[in-house]
Structure 1
Amino acid sequence: MEKFTDKQIEDYLGQLDGWEYVDGAIETTFEFKDFKEAFSVMTRIAFECEAQGHHPDWSNVYKTVNIRLSTHDANGVTEKDFELARSIEDIVESD
């Protein structure tokens, strides 16, 4: 998969709400009503990550989930990251 240019990343970020390009990856933070809800959403995201064969760098503290996406094989951001970001958005919005 080909690494995106900064311009491509900027254009694609315009299609996502709350995501930023930081130090070679796209990232966002979600806040839920409590830990149980945050963990439930993380579990659904984990199944989608497995289905896409692409996995985030992420963390969870109580009701907050931080997600960072980049394609390690390409050493940067690719279409795979934006595909997964859109799927993550769909999962969070459906909650």
Structure 2
Amino acid sequence: MKKLTDFEINRKLEKLQDWDYYDDALHTDFEFDNFKDCMSAMNRIAFECEALNHHPEWTNNYNTLDIKLTTHDVDGVTKLDFKLAKAINKIVEVEE
């Protein structure tokens, strides 16, 4: 798997709603109505992560979810990170 360049990452970010790039990773956060909705989203995301064999660094605090995506094998962002980010946006139903 190839680490993407900053130029490639910024081009791909133009088509990815609500994600940022810094510290060699993609970052986003979501706020839900309550803890149960947040945990439900995390569980749905977990199934996608397992299917892709790619796992986020994430934290949950009551109704908020912070997600960081990076590919540790290459110390940066790859196409797989973008694939998972797109899947997460579909699960959480991010509006464009």
What is the TM-score when the length of structure 1 is the normalising length? 0.97
Name the counterpart of 1:91: 91
Query: Secondary structure of 2:55's partner?
Result: coil
Identity of aligned residues (%): 53
Structure 2 residue 93 is the aligned partner of structure 1 residue 74: no
Structure 1 residue ranges without an equivalent (≥5): none
Name the counterpart of 1:58: 58
User: CA–CA distance in 1 between the matches of 2:60 and 2:22?
Assistant: 19
Q: How many residues in Structure 1 have an aligned counterpart in Structure 2?
A: 94
Hey, which bits of structure 1, 4+ residues long, moved more than 6 A?
Answer: none
Structure with greater helix share of residues = 1
Cα RMSD of the aligned pairs, angstroms, is 0.9
Q: Which sits farther off after the overlay, 85-94 or 7-16?
A: 85-94
What is the TM-score when the length of structure 2 is the normalising length? 0.96
Name the counterpart of 1:3: 3
Equivalent AA in structure 2 for residue 64 of structure 1: T
Q: Deviations over 1:51-95 (max 9, x none)?
A: 00000000000000000000001110000000000000010018x
User: CA–CA distance in 2 between the matches of 1:35 and 1:53?
Assistant: 26
Equivalent AA in structure 1 for residue 83 of structure 2: E
Query: Secondary structure of 2:15's partner?
Result: coil
